[in-house]
């Protein structure tokens, strides 16, 4: 399946739509496909919207490119990408993307282990193939 890059100001980014689900509750959410991210990190507000008590997850710490530490809380959720559901463990944090950008992040564990990902900046396209 293919997705178009999204434009933020004058910058193109590989941001795609997903669903984040727990049971029957689900939220549409946009995520940056980030090969440098260790795992999937979503907004705490998304977790609350699908019924999670975010702070009751397993606490962990992540360091951003500037070296700043942030806390997140791991929970088991289902993400749906292009109609395909996958159970993953994702982190939820209050300041994902620094509260400046309106999306979460999908990374190595929980996304790149589920898909073969091809980035094509010139075509402004991301192609995903389910890993079998």
Query: What CATH architecture applies to the domain 2-130?
Result: Beta Barrel (2.40)
pLDDT digits (tens, 9 = 90+) for 19-30: 999 999 999 999
Instruction: Please say whether the beta carbons of 88 and 81 come within 8 A.
Output: no
The CB density around residue 78, as the number of other CB atoms within 10 Å, is 16
Q: Does residue 97 carry a pLDDT above 70?
A: no
3-state SS record for the chain = CEEECEEECCEEECEEEEEEEECCEEEEEEEEECCCCCECEEEHHHHHHCCCCHHHCEEEEEECCCCCEEEEEEEEEEEEECCEEEEEEEEEECCHHHHCCCCEEECCECCCCCEEEEEECCCCEEEEEECC
The whole-number pLDDT of residue 17 equals: 97
The CB density around residue 88, as the number of other CB atoms within 10 Å, is 19
**Rg of the chain in Å (alpha carbons):** 14
Provide the pLDDT confidence category of residue 96 given band limits of 50, 70 and 90.
low
Mean pLDDT of the chain: 92
Provide the pLDDT confidence category of residue 69 given band limits of 50, 70 and 90.
confident
Give the residue-averaged pLDDT of 42-64: 93
Name which residue leads in pLDDT, 67 or 32.
32
The whole-number pLDDT of residue 67 equals: 77
- The separation between CA 45 and the C-alpha centre of its own chain, rounded to angstroms, equals 13
pLDDT digits (tens, 9 = 90+) for 40-50: 999 999 999 99
The whole-number pLDDT of residue 122 equals: 96
């Amino acid at each position: 399946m293919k997705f178009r890059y999204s434009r933020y100001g004058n910058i193109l980014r590989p941001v795609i739509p997903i669903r984040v689900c727990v049971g029957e509750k689900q939220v549409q959410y946009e995520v940056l496909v980030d090969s440098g991210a260790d795992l999937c990190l979503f907004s705490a507000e998304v977790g609350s919207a699908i019924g999670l008590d975010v702070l009751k997850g397993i606490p962990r710490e992540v360091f951003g490119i500037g070296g700043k530490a942030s806390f997140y809380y791991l929970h088991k959720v289902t993400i749906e990408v292009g109609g395909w559901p996958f159970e993953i463990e994702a982190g939820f944090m209050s300041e994902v993307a620094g509260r400046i950008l309106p999306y979460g992040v999908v990374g190595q564990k929980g996304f790149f282990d589920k898909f073969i990902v091809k980035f094509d900046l010139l075509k402004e396209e991301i192609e995903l193939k389910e890993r079998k």
